[in-house]
């Protein structure tokens, strides 16, 4: 029983971190109408930056999110301004391929600069735990969870309660309609894309402490967060939260009660099953396809 509760607690903690990563991906989907397959590479890039600064200066890796988040925000901003905006009229498959190319470039650059080895940031507390009765809460995932929660709260406050956030959501739903009522297209889309990559910045810093990573880890990470937003419904923010918690739990349970090597299959299995049975996911809506000609 204690083991079960322990597994649930760990699953929830990791689910919170996933929620942050998945929110960024689903936001970018809302804006670009394509899966940003480079999101995993952005995560790993941020993890490497965190690891590198941590090793050089000894600053706490999770606190380094204060550095990586604006950094990735800037990177996303510049990227969308220079490249992404050019693709708005191209078919979605071309945008997917472009982002795939970006992911390969990042992986290649990390290979050259950091080497093809597993890394992990190990601050003093990385193997310590808080004990709560029979269960123990490891400190690193707990801090990561709290940090992710704080950023998520800010993220949602911006989207829900500011004019900019409403502009982003309006633009995601109907770009030409939003343009007609005064939402300027490119800056809004750029902002949404940059917010998406910023969440990868934050997520990457947390990731650097939680799991060992190497340049090619981005495939596994994009599969994880893709599974989450597919389950929740592409483009849906509440879906991303729910999907993250469900899959965080499912992953922990599988890795404890089945075997850690099968746990990643949970995500692939969910992706295939959901897209086959209910393509709009839990919270997604089907939009009418017949009018758009």
How far is Cα 33 from Cα 105, in angstroms, rounded to an integer? 22
Q: Which DSSP string do the residues of 234-275 spell out, in sequence order?
A: TT-HHHHHHHHHHHHHHHHHHHHHT-HHHHHHHHHHHHHHHH
Return the closest-CA partner of residue 106 out of 140, 69, 79.
79
Least Å from the CB of residue 146 to other proteins: 31
Please choose, out of 157-165, 189-197, 198-206, 266-274, the segment that lies near other proteins by the rule CB under 8 A.
Answer: 266-274
> Given candidates 53, 159, 202, 226, which one binds other proteins under the rule CB under 8 A?
226
Residues 6+ apart with CB under 8 A from 292: none
> Given candidates 219, 238, 253, 256, which one binds other proteins under the rule CB under 8 A?
219
- Check: CB of residue 64 under 8 Å from CB of residue 56: no
- Check: CB of residue 65 under 8 Å from CB of residue 20: no
How far is Cα 247 from Cα 228, in angstroms, rounded to an integer? 7
Least Å from the CB of residue 1 to other proteins: 29
Please choose, out of 2-10, 34-42, 165-173, 200-208, the segment that lies near other proteins by the rule CB under 8 A.
Answer: 34-42
Radius of gyration of the chain (CA): 19
- Check: CB of residue 241 under 8 Å from CB of residue 19: yes
Residues 99-158 that bind other proteins (CB under 8 A): 100-109, 111-112, 116
Name the residue with tokens 């050019």: 86
Is position 275 an interface residue for other proteins (rule: CB under 8 A)?
yes
Q: Closer CB to other proteins, residue 2 or residue 90?
A: 90
Angle (deg, nearest 10), helices 237-257 and 2-32? 140
> Given candidates 20, 35, 168, 240, which one binds other proteins under the rule CB under 8 A?
35
Is position 170 an interface residue for other proteins (rule: CB under 8 A)?
no
Least Å from the CB of residue 111 to other proteins: 4
> Given candidates 162, 173, 184, 285, which one binds other proteins under the rule CB under 8 A?
285
Q: Closer CB to other proteins, residue 132 or residue 273?
A: 273
Residues 62-101 that bind other proteins (CB under 8 A): 83, 86-87, 90-98, 100-101
Q: How many CB atoms lie within 10 A of CB 144?
A: 27
Is position 289 an interface residue for other proteins (rule: CB under 8 A)?
yes
Name the residue with tokens 């300027």: 184
Give residues in contact with other proteins (CB under 8 A): 33-35, 37, 83, 86-87, 90-98, 100-109, 111-112, 116, 219, 223, 226, 230, 234, 261-262, 264-265, 268-269, 271-272, 275-276, 279, 285, 288-291, 293
């Amino acid at each position: 029983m204690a083991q079960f509760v322990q597994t649930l607690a760990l699953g929830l903690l990791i689910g919170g971190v996933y929620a942050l990563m998945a929110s960024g991906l689903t936001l970018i989907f809302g804006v670009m109408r394509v899966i940003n397959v480079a999101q995993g590479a952005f995560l790993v890039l941020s993890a490497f930056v965190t690891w590198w600064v941590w090793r050089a200066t000894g600053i706490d890796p999770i606190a380094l999110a204060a550095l990586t988040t604006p950094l990735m925000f800037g990177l996303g901003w510049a990227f969308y301004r220079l490249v992404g905006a050019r693709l708005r009229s191209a078919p979605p498959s071309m945008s997917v391929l472009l982002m795939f190319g970006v992911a390969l470039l990042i992986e290649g650059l990390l290979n050259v600069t950091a080497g093809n080895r597993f890394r992990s940031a190990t601050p003093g507390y990385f193997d310590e735990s808080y004990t709560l009765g029979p269960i123990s809460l490891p400190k690193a995932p707990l801090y990561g969870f709290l940090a992710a929660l704080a950023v998520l709260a800010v993220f949602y406050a911006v989207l829900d309660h500011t004019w900019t956030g409403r502009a982003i959501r309006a633009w995601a739903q109907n770009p030409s309609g939003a343009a007609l009522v005064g939402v300027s297209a490119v800056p809004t889309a750029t902002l949404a894309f940059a917010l998406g990559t910023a969440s990868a910045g934050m997520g990457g810093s947390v990731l650097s402490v939680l799991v060992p990573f190497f340049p090619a880890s981005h495939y596994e990470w994009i599969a994880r967060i893709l599974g989450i937003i597919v389950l929740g419904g592409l483009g849906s923010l509440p879906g991303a939260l729910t999907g993250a918690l469900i899959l965080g739990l499912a992953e922990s349970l599988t890795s404890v009660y089945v075997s850690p090597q099968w746990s990643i299959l949970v995500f692939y299995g969910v992706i295939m099953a959901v897209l086959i049975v209910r393509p709009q996911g839990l919270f997604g809506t089907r939009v009418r396809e017949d009018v758009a000609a």
